Structure 1
């Protein structure tokens, strides 16, 4: 897709929200969810970076990112335990 189209759509959405307003609570919930997903992906990236010394690799995909993002460190530890015991 053309980058100009993507930028135009994003600017259009921002203008729409500025003109007609948005309910604050859903926007805040979506923002917090996005931040948690980014933090979850960061957890997995750091685990994979430092886990190469002990031959540990958890793939970074949508499911593992959601688990590590919303559960935090216990979710990452649970995935490591599942990796060693189940798989």
Structure 2
């Protein structure tokens, strides 16, 4: 099933509008949650790399991987690992 690009952009715009609305409603709380999640994302990526040294696996540490792991948490780290394995297998 193919989703037209327009619907993907509509989804992105809705999510961004929601985040902006939440930020203006509770700026301190939202900023703290984003900062905490980004820090946890960094720790998750470092943990995967630490465990990965034993099985010769490494996730690159950059802003994209840190923010993905930070915003999505453990499912984001799992998605990064799956994506890395998928790209390496191809």
Matches within 5 A, 1:1-87: 25-87=26-88
Unaligned 5+ runs, structure 1: 1-22
Per the normalisation by structure 1, the TM-score is 0.69
Per the normalisation by structure 2, the TM-score is 0.66
Greater mean deviation of Cα atoms: 32-41 or 57-66: 57-66
Give the match's secondary structure for 1:86: helix
Unaligned 5+ runs, structure 2: 1-23
Deviations 1:62-86 (A, max 9, x none): 1101100111111111111111112
Larger radius of gyration: 1
C-alpha RMSD over aligned residues: 1.5
